């Protein structure tokens, strides 16, 4: 496979790039010189806002949608990246869902939906990326620090992210010989709509104060790790990087 000749030629696909950590990751990689395909599941307007912000800062970006668990839709997504930008060097797979309830109360349809998006979605997207990504590239999945924190109500979500970690660590070894790193970022509580939705302010304050840094993480905190894994971290491979201010 051919490697890009310079940093400006590098291409990243960011799933879930329409908001939260995904948007911050897309904007950070664009600042680092990547052309970015911003994926969205249902909110094209927010993805276009991300693209507009990148372009306003002098970067290159394009929005494209699709269900991450649908292999046909994701094939089209990667086709678009190759057609419009010339290839693929980095995948940042942030897309996921997080319905919460105690195990005894969570209905099985919701459980199945979580696993479909978070586990099958990761498998589909990683499979396609691994087949297309250029030598010297990086696959960056997203797990969660909840796999260590064991917070009540997160059983189905944490189970899905445990599977994501297993996929990540095994794929890193399956890609032996191609100079492609595969890692997972595991954020702690981060001030995104996905985390804040439905939580009373008192609970948010309690969670923030429990952290040694006495605050929630920000999307920009998390994307520091993404930029590291997408760029200089060539000797970090097959790892789960906990980015949580010391919460776990």
String of DSSP letters for 181-230:
EEEEEEE-SB-SHHHHTT--HHHHHHHHHHSTTSS-B-HHHHHHHHHHHH
Q: Is 70 exposed, middle or buried (0-12, 13-18, 19+ CB in 10 A)?
A: middle
What pLDDT, on the 0 to 100 scale, is given for residue 6? 45
Check residue 3 and report its DSSP letter. P
pTM: 0.93
**40 catalytic, yes or no?**
no
- Read off the pLDDT of residues 30-88 as tens digits, 9 standing for 90 and up: 999 999 999 999 899 999 999 999 999 999 999 999 999 999 999 999 999 999 999 99
pLDDT class for 154, splitting at 50, 70, 90? very high
Q: Residue 27: is its pLDDT beyond 70?
A: yes
pLDDT class for 248, splitting at 50, 70, 90? low
Check residue 106 and report its DSSP letter. -
Catalytic site residue from 40, 154, 157, 242 = 157
Domain segments of the chain: what residues? 7-190+218-243
CATH topology of domain 7-190+218-243: Rossmann fold (3.40.50)
Antiparallel, parallel or unpaired: β 11-15 and 138-142: unpaired
The average confidence (pLDDT) of the chain is 94
């Amino acid at each position: 496979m051919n490697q890009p000749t310079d940093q400006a030629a590098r291409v990243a696909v960011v799933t879930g790039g329409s908001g939260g950590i995904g948007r911050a990751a897309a904007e950070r990689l664009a600042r680092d010189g990547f052309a970015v395909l911003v994926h969205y599941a249902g909110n094209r307007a927010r993805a276009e806002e991300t693209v507009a912000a990148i372009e306003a800062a002098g970067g290159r970006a394009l929005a494209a949608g699709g269900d991450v668990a649908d292999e046909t839709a994701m094939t089209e997504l990667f086709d678009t990246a190759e057609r419009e930008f010339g290839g693929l060097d980095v995948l940042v797979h942030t897309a996921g869902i997080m319905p919460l309830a105690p195990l005894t109360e969570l209905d099985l349809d919701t459980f199945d939906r979580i696993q479909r998006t978070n586990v099958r979605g990761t498998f589909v997207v990683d499979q396609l990326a691994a087949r297309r990504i250029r030598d010297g590239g990086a696959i960056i999945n997203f797990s969660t620090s909840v796999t260590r924190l064991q917070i009540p109500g997160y059983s189905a979500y944490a189970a899905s992210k445990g599977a994501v970690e297993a996929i990540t660590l095994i794929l890193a070894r399956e890609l032996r010989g191609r100079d492609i790193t595969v890692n997972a970022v595991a954020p702690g509580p981060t001030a995104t709509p996905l985390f804040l939705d439905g939580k009373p302010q008192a609970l948010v304050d309690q969670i923030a104060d429990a952290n040694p840094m006495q605050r929630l993480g920000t999307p920009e905190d998390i994307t520091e790790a993404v930029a590291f894994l997408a760029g200089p971290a060539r000797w970090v491979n097959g790892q789960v990087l906990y980015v949580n201010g010391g919460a776990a």
